[in-house]
Structure 1
Amino acid sequence: MMRLAFVSDIHGNLAALEAVIADMSHRKIQCVVNLGDSLSGPLLPLETADRLKNLPWLHVAGNHERQVLRVPIERQNSSDAFTSKQLNPMTRHWLAEHADPCDARLHQAQMWPQHLGDDVALCHGSPRSDVEYLLETPVGESARLASLAEIEERLAGLVPGHITLLACGHSHVPRSVRCGSDLLIVNPGSVGLPAFEDDHPHPFSSFHRIENGSPDARYAVLEKSDGRWRCELISVPYDHESMALLAEQRQRHDWAHALRTGRMPRA
């Protein structure tokens, strides 16, 4: 029997990360995979990186790793720019070593066979883009569950037929979906940021909100028994007020509201 844990979208929230680590310690996890967006935000990016470096986890790069490392700081958004200014050369090197999701989606078996097996694939967003949701579709100012046809289009033949578990992040929405009889797709949700606003353009939306409605930290445990994967989506309460106060000190009141409530403030 194989028992894996997946985390994603920590966003520098060290208090939430510590709560998840403590919760995992009781669950006999064999391997933990971090699906990216680990540091970006106004909280504790360097301290979070230092904590993660000391864990025997596998890491996939998210869009914010790419943006922090490759986009000139003057073109970065405020969360990425704050993070970029905090990072030292050693931490940047550590980030650069994270698996590229374009490789991870196809070559998982070759990369980490002793940990995950050859039927598990990873991506941060979707297999074709680190900024595309796989299981949600933004429509207007919110996001709905993606249809099966939409999910299949986003898979676009990029996941080999022998894959039975595909783990993704990016949307911050904890969800598991079966695609056909053989493929389970899991998003563990966000460890550190339960709500956000995004103006990245989508076919049916130019601005949308993701809101989980709870400040809890999220992650997922996957167990393979008798050839099939079972998913448990886990919600962990933690001292979110400490992180909300820190966001306020950084003049990020939108983050403070999201961290306290799991919702975005309205004007």
Structure 2
Amino acid sequence: MPLERIALISDVHGNLTALEAVLADIEARGIRRIFNLGDYVGKGPRGQAVVDRCQEVCEVTILGNWDDFLPAPDIAPDSDSMRWWRNELREDQWAWLRSRPFCHDFVLSGRQIRLFHASSDTVHHRTHFDHDEKQFLAMFENTPATGDGPLPTVVGYGDIHDAFCETDLGRTLFNVGSVGNSLGDPTPVYTILEGVPDASDPAPFSIQFVRVPYDAEAELAVAHALNAPELEGYEAELLHGIYRGDIYNNRTPSYHRAG
């Protein structure tokens, strides 16, 4: 059977300019299948437009932590920023975001693959790239959140805005990076999986990371025009890849606190 490519995107966070640049690159490569690992909203100014666009182009749409708490005032942090990002969305989008599935399992080139946003147990538990062996193995476990399907040998996730790939103990763990809020290197990044779909026998398989330059200044201009919140932090993230929490809390810059 012929090889097929699947584009994995995550953590757009209301950055429509970055999303459109990445979608253009995906289309130019002739890739027709797009899976989204969550966090469509928050941080950036155009969550509503991002949700609409992702509903249009994404075959798979997974729940992220922002998608879970932002539309729910009873669990979201109470702040002017949270209210602004929530009210920028339509009410029908609140329900759609919270109804996204926790994970997506499929087979590619004889490998059992599982995709989720942050960890195997909850969208609110973060697993950084500098994890220990126990944390690594936990990403491959079945939990009440994932259900009792076949155990994965390949796991992909988002949340930390920090693309990486690690193979150990016969398993592969990778992070797809962030389209709209990439930290460390602020250039949007997405992942391409290539293999034979639904093939139970081993076949060629690859994981590729793609960085796509875009006009960050244009996105910031929109944010200013809309009077979006936390503009100082948004500028630090989009232009310099510095996490906004480090700016507001006077911490040494670190890109390992995203979400």
2:180 match: 192
Contact between 1:215 and 1:237, CA under 8 Å: does it hold in 2? no
2:254 match: none
RMSD: 2.8
Please, which runs of 5 or more residues in structure 1 have no aligned partner? 137-144, 196-211
Q: Distance in 2 between matches of 1:21 and 1:117?
A: 28
Q: Using the TM superposition, give the Cα deviation of residue 73 of structure 1 relative to its aligned residue in structure 2, in angstroms.
A: 7.7
| CA displacement 1:39-65 (0-9 Å, x = unmatched) | 112411111122222214210011111
Q: Is residue 250 from structure 1 mapped to residue 228 from structure 2 by the alignment?
A: yes
Paired residue for 2:153, among 145, 153, 164?
A: 164
Q: Following superposition of structure 1 onto structure 2, how do residues 202-217 of structure 1 map, counting pairs within 5 Å? A: 212=184, 214-217=185-188
Distance 1:130 1:15, change over 3 A: same
Kindly provide the amino acid, as one letter, of the partner of residue 152 in structure 1: L
2:135 match: 150
1:122 match: 115
Distance 1:40 1:74, change over 3 A: closer
Q: Using the TM superposition, give the Cα deviation of residue 20 of structure 1 relative to its aligned residue in structure 2, in angstroms.
A: 0.4
1:62 match: 64
Kindly provide the amino acid, as one letter, of the partner of residue 180 in structure 2: G
1:227 match: 203
2:240 match: 261
Kindly provide the amino acid, as one letter, of the partner of residue 191 in structure 1: V
Contact between 1:245 and 1:256, CA under 8 Å: does it hold in 2? no
Paired residue for 1:132, among 125, 150, 165?
A: 125
Kindly provide the amino acid, as one letter, of the partner of residue 192 in structure 1: G
Contact between 1:224 and 1:230, CA under 8 Å: does it hold in 2? yes
Q: Using the TM superposition, give the Cα deviation of residue 155 of structure 1 relative to its aligned residue in structure 2, in angstroms.
A: 3.8
Contact between 2:142 and 2:151, CA under 8 Å: does it hold in 1? no
Paired residue for 1:180, among 169, 172, 188?
A: 169
Distance 1:3 1:74, change over 3 A: closer
State the number of aligned residues. 232
| CA displacement 1:169-223 (0-9 Å, x = unmatched) | 1101011111322x3222111100123xxxxxxxxxxxxxxxx1x3211100011
TM-score (norm 1): 0.76
Kindly provide the amino acid, as one letter, of the partner of residue 209 in structure 2: L
2:29 match: 27
Distance 1:217 1:78, change over 3 A: farther
Kindly provide the amino acid, as one letter, of the partner of residue 53 in structure 1: Q
Please, which runs of 5 or more residues in structure 2 have no aligned partner? 197-201, 251-259
Q: Distance in 1 between matches of 2:220 and 2:6?
A: 30
Contact between 1:194 and 1:262, CA under 8 Å: does it hold in 2? yes
Q: Distance in 1 between matches of 2:114 and 2:75?
A: 32
Please give the secondary structure, in 2, of the residue aligned with 1:70.
coil
